[in-house]
Amino acid sequence: MKTEPTAQPKLYIGIDIHKRSWKVHCATDLFMGKSFSMPPEPQILYDYVQKNFVDHEVSTAYEAGCCGFSAHRSFIHFGWLSVVANPADIHRSGKEKYSKTDRIDAQLIARELKDGRLNAVTVPDVEREELRSLFRSRNDLVKDIRRNKSRIKMQLLYFGITIPEVFNTDKWSHRFRNWVDAVTFAHPTAKSALEGRMRTFRFLDREKREVSNELRAYCRKHYKNDYDLLRSVPGIGGVVACGIFNRLVLASFYW
């Protein structure tokens, strides 16, 4: 009597993703699988699966991190189920908490995927993700400005130059900037150092303003309803509205 399979075989792929290489572990319902390294190219993994696991229902998983969601989108394009997991949500037992290698991580992800214990993080669409990168760029500029301000104040403190009380605030007015420009030292070397830091500060401040304007303009144009609704809340300005909006994956579902 001829027998036929009653269910489609399943393949579970756990991937420990890095910039230069991926550590991959493949497992099925029948065997624990094998681990191997490969270049960080989704197409190479697809070709491997097509060669060795044809007709399998494929599920993949990897930890969210610096490599973003491009691999996830490629796997979805291949017709695979893809999970991007929060590393903190992956269960580790016993020595797995202390023995950490790329191979062990890939095996652990594949096992958790096979057992159905992985919860996926929400993956934003490409447009929202790229808009979020612009907002993060502004955050980086704010941090750089804060550090540069601290360097300028520390130089003044080091040389015993007291900032007038009227200027000793977090916001640097044009009057205060002009006052810093007029500070003199005994020798031109310290003056050159201060002028360089002030040039850096002005450049960063100008970049922050341009990025902020671009953020507000983009949200007003492409997400006007959500943006205007957030702006209608007392105390929420344009940049804060963009920040809240960027933390929502599908704002239209919330309003």
CA distance 250 to 236: 20
Q: Is residue 200 exposed (0-12), middle (13-18) or buried (19+ Cβ within 10 Å)?
A: middle
H or E element that contains 200? helix 188-222
Tell me the pTM: 0.79
Q: What are phi and psi of 84, to 5 degrees?
A: -105, 115
| pLDDT for residue 162 | 93
CA distance 107 to 213: 46
Query: pLDDT tens digits for 51-70?
Result: 999 889 999 999 998 888 99
Is the pLDDT at 254 greater than 50, yes or no?
Answer: no
Question: If you ran DSSP here, which 8-state letter would residue 249 be given?
Answer: S
| pLDDT for residue 249 | 43
| pLDDT for residue 90 | 82
Show contacts of 38-42: CB within 8 Å, 24+ apart: 40/67, 40/71, 42/71, 42/74, 42/75, 42/78
Q: Shortest CA distance to 138 belongs to which of 247, 65, 231, 242?
A: 242
Say how many residues make up the chain.
255
Query: pLDDT tens digits for 107-133?
Result: 999 999 998 888 888 888 888 888 889
| pLDDT for residue 41 | 94
| pLDDT for residue 203 | 97
User: Quick one: average pLDDT of 141-152?
Assistant: 96
* Helix locations, 62-187, DSSP H: 70-77, 102-114, 126-158, 174-181
CA distance 33 to 19: 24
Other beta carbons less than 10 A from residue 59's beta carbon: 20
Query: pLDDT tens digits for 154-176?
Result: 999 999 999 998 888 888 999 99
**Which pair of tokens denotes residue 61?**
């998983």
Give yes or no for a contact between 28 and 10, defined as CB atoms under 8 angstroms apart: yes
CA atoms within 13 A on the CB side of 131: 25
Average pLDDT, the chain: 88
Sign of the CA dihedral with 236 first, then 238, 241, and 247 last:
negative
The model's confidence at residue 4, banded by pLDDT at 50, 70 and 90, is low
Percent of the chain predicted with pLDDT > 90: 58
Sign of the CA dihedral with 22 first, then 25, 28, and 33 last:
positive
Other beta carbons less than 10 A from residue 24's beta carbon: 26
Residue whose token pair is 């989704």: 42
Percent of the chain predicted with pLDDT > 70: 93
Query: pLDDT tens digits for 235-251?
Result: 899 899 888 877 764 44
Q: Shortest CA distance to 16 belongs to which of 88, 87, 81?
A: 87
Query: pLDDT tens digits for 67-117?
Result: 889 999 999 999 999 999 998 888 777 666 667 788 888 999 999 999 888
| pLDDT for residue 252 | 39
Domains of the chain in sequence order: 10-114 (3.30.420.10), 126-254 (no CATH)
